[in-house]
């Protein structure tokens, strides 16, 4: 077997396997240093005695499945109703760069927007509402986790949309939809019946990742999620840092529950897919041409527009707070604008920006090389990453970070590895590589192999085919993959904190550290800088192909 795929799998699975080992042992009371337990199931007994467990588990399930299903629905209907239109390109231009907005920054912006004292409330108070104080209602951190679910949706819609657009270029959608419409199908119905099955096939793994991520997210849950009790992953992090060592065993038990929940939800999703496919087949063969297509289309466009607007206004409110002097309620704008907040926090933010950018660039670059190496090896040596082996690569995205990161940490300490930038990069790679591989693999595989056959027949070597034909044709997916990788790296909190021993200060660790203090001005500064760190690569994804291929229309169409 060629070297690169082995290396990649080793880099992914080594840390996860070690980390999981370090989770399973204490969960069953088998880690001496964490203390003696009367029976191996003692940690689970303590866990099940925690009164918050049913709620925490329910939260994990409802927010995870809810956020995933709603995001997928919005994206699918949006593409069904509008792909190829002017409105769609507008939404695409609005949403694509928003993928780069880190979850933490988007969540902060969302909270500053919709809280009872948030910007929306300020804009209509007191004129429309009569409020001279914010209403005492629980919007952010509501016990049902609705704010958290919405905060996830506004971030997952751009992610799934970008993945779908990348998949669409491999789906010959335009011809299908033209034929469907010629046969009298409505736009939405025709697209769902002919194109959606092909697109979904390509974005299935991103959807699973969204599901697993949404179920176990920590930073968004800390900012928007409830606290009485918190979601399971947040509670696991809290137990992990409890001075009482035995709580780490309880945390490990909780981590295994979280893992089981994620696996269960993925199984549930898979079964739903099969049922949906069966029903969908009957729906397709029934031959209905679609009745409410235009209403559904307008609804989808509106939802996507609101999602985009929520992030954009969120960034705007972060900007305003970063320049705000005193700002009481219900004033729509601060009493005065000042540079003092930037003078106070700017130097620290720039330092963290440099660290963040360095780590993100190196990690994404390595992840891209590994991904191309794997995919090219698969192509040349006919080593198939079957669906089953590919699951291994996605393991870091399906296992809650809290479950195996402390295990990685112990491993590093065990071999005497210093905490610092390099280990943080390796830890980031565990999370960044799957995303890069994930976003690149489907377009890469769906590339029409006959180009290679023709080039080969003309005497081109495999390397020449790779560099002169395949990669140039796949420029947009390649750049998208790098940008996704950088955004993922920029947003990493737990790996940076745990593996960096707190010595590596990225914009995300700084911003999350500020979150507990709720200094909205400092959060504004760091949230904006964090967003900026991830914005540039995505701008390039949109710009570079259009510049490089301005004379080649076929390559430009994503």
Q: How far apart are CA 505 and CA 512, in angstroms?
A: 11
Cβ–Cβ under 8 Å, residues 105 and 535: no
Among 289, 419, 445, 556, binds other proteins (CB under 8 A): 419
Q: Among residues 177 and 528, whose Cβ is nearest to other proteins?
A: 528
Contact set for other proteins, span 198-227 (CB under 8 A)? 226-227
Q: Which two tokens stand for residue 16?
A: 């996860």
Q: Among residues 304 and 504, whose Cβ is nearest to other proteins?
A: 504
Among 150, 240, 349, 405, binds other proteins (CB under 8 A): 240
Interface with other proteins, residue 361, by CB under 8 A: no
Nearest residue to 428 (alpha-carbon basis) of 4, 10, 12: 12
Among 46, 58, 299, 505, binds other proteins (CB under 8 A): 505
Supply the DSSP symbol for 40. Answer: T
Among 138, 277, 369, 422, binds other proteins (CB under 8 A): 138
Among 151, 406, 434, 558, binds other proteins (CB under 8 A): 406
Q: What angle do CA 272, 275, 280 make, to 5 degrees?
A: 120
Q: Among residues 283 and 329, whose Cβ is nearest to other proteins?
A: 329
Q: Which residues of 158-188 are buried (b: 16+ CB within 10 A; e: fewer)?
A: bbbbbbbbbbbbbbebeebbeebbeeebbbb
Among 2, 35, 84, 134, binds other proteins (CB under 8 A): 134
SS3 per residue for 366-408: HHHHHHHHHHHHHHHCCCCCCHHHHHHHHHHHHCCHHHHHHHH
At its nearest, how many Å lie between other proteins and the CB of residue 218? 11
Residues in contact with other proteins, shown as a per-residue x/- string from 332 to 351 under the rule CB under 8 A: ------x-----xx--x---
3-state secondary structure of 128: coil
Interface with other proteins, residue 62, by CB under 8 A: no
Q: Among residues 244 and 387, whose Cβ is nearest to other proteins?
A: 244
Among 270, 503, 550, 557, binds other proteins (CB under 8 A): 503
Among 1, 36, 130, 328, binds other proteins (CB under 8 A): 328
Interface with other proteins, residue 103, by CB under 8 A: no
Among 229, 297, 485, 495, binds other proteins (CB under 8 A): 229
Cβ–Cβ under 8 Å, residues 427 and 15: yes
E strands, 428-476, are none
- Bond into 126 cis (ω within 30): yes
Interface with other proteins, residue 354, by CB under 8 A: no
* Cα distances (angstroms) measured from residue 284 to each of 183, 194, 278, 413, 474: 13, 9, 10, 57, 32
Nearest residue to 493 (alpha-carbon basis) of 178, 147, 220, 195: 220
At its nearest, how many Å lie between other proteins and the CB of residue 23? 14
Contact set for other proteins, span 142-171 (CB under 8 A)? 142-143
- Bond into 330 cis (ω within 30): yes
At its nearest, how many Å lie between other proteins and the CB of residue 112? 10
Among 1, 86, 182, 228, binds other proteins (CB under 8 A): 228
Interface with other proteins, residue 36, by CB under 8 A: no
3-state secondary structure of 225: coil
At its nearest, how many Å lie between other proteins and the CB of residue 217? 16
Q: Among residues 414 and 554, whose Cβ is nearest to other proteins?
A: 414
3-state secondary structure of 11: helix
Q: What angle do CA 18, 21, 24 make, to 5 degrees?
A: 155
Interface with other proteins, residue 50, by CB under 8 A: yes
Count of residues interacting with other proteins (CB under 8 A): 65
Q: Among residues 99 and 115, whose Cβ is nearest to other proteins?
A: 115
Interface with other proteins, residue 415, by CB under 8 A: yes
Q: How far apart are CA 447 and CA 396, in angstroms?
A: 27
Among 38, 130, 241, 343, binds other proteins (CB under 8 A): 241
Q: How far apart are CA 484 and CA 100, in angstroms?
A: 7
Q: How far apart are CA 299 and CA 186, in angstroms?
A: 15
Interface with other proteins, residue 448, by CB under 8 A: no
Contact set for other proteins, span 462-481 (CB under 8 A)? none
3-state secondary structure of 548: helix
Binding site for other proteins (CB under 8 A): 33, 50-52, 55, 116-117, 132-134, 136-138, 140-143, 226-229, 240-245, 248, 324-329, 338, 344-345, 348, 406, 409-411, 413-416, 419, 497, 501-503, 505, 509-510, 512-522
């Amino acid at each position: 077997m060629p070297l690169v795929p082995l290396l990649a799998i080793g880099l992914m699975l080594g840390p996860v396997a070690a980390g999981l080992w370090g989770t399973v042992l204490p969960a069953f009371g088998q880690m001496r240093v964490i203390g003696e337990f009367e029976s191996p199931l003692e940690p689970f007994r303590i866990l099940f005695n925690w009164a918050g467990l049913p709620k925490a588990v329910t939260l994990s399930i409802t927010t995870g499945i809810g956020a995933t299903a709603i995001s997928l629905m919005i994206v699918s209907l949006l593409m069904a109703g509008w792909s190829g239109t002017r409105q769609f390109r507008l939404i695409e231009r609005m949403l694509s760069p928003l993928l780069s907005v880190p979850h933490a920054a988007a969540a902060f912006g969302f909270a500053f927007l919709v809280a009872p004292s948030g910007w929306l409330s300020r804009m209509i108070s007191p004129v429309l509402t009569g409020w001279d104080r914010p209403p005492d209602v629980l919007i952010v951190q509501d016990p049902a986790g609705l704010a958290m679910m919405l905060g996830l949706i506004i971030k997952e819609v751009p992610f799934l949309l970008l993945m779908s657009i990348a998949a669409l270029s491999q789906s010959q959608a335009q011809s299908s939809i033209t034929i469907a419409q010629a046969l009298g199908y409505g736009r939405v119905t025709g697209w769902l019946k002919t194109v959606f099955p092909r697109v979904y096939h390509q974005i299935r793994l991103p959807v699973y990742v969204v599901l697993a991520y949404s179920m176990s997210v920590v930073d968004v849950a800390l900012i928007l999620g409830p606290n009485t009790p918190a979601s399971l992953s947040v509670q696991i992090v809290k137990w992990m840092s409890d001075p009482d060592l035995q709580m780490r065993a309880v945390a490990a038990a909780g981590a295994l529950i979280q893992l089981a929940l994620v696996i269960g939800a993925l199984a549930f999703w898979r079964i739903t897919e099969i049922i949906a496919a069966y029903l969908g087949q009957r729906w397709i063969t029934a031959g209905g041409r679609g009745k409410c297509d235009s209403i559904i289309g307008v609804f989808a466009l509106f939802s996507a527009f609101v999602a985009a607007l929520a992030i954009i206004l969120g960034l705007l409110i972060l900007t305003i707070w970063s320049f705000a002097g005193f700002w009481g309620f219900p004033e729509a704008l601060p009493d005065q604008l000042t540079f003092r907040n930037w003078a106070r926090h700017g130097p620290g933010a720039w330092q963290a920006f440099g660290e963040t950018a360095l780590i993100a660039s190196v990690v994404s670059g390595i992840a891209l090389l590994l991904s191309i190496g794997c995919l090219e090896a698969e192509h040349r040596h006919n080593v198939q990453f079957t669906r089953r082996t590919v699951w291994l690569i996605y393991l870091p995205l399906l296992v809650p970070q809290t479950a195996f990161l402390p295990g990685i940490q112990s491993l590093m300490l065990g071999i005497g590895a210093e905490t610092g930038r390099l280990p943080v990069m390796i830890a980031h790679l565990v999370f960044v590589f799957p995303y890069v591989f994930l976003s690149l693999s489907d377009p890469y595989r769906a590339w029409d192999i006959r180009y290679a056959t023709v080039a080969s027949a003309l005497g081109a070597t495999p390397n020449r085919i790779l560099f002169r034909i395949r990669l140039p044709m796949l420029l947009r997916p390649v750049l998208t993959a790098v940008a996704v990788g950088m955004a993922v790296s920029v947003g990493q909190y737990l790996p940076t904190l745990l593996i960096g021993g707190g010595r590596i200060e990225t914009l995300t660790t700084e911003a999350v550290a500020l979150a507990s203090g709720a200094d909205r001005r400092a959060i504004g500064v760091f949230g904006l800088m964090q967003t900026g760190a991830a914005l540039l690569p995505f701008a390039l994804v949109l710009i570079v192909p259009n510049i490089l291929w301005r004379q080649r229309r076929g390559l430009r169409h994503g």
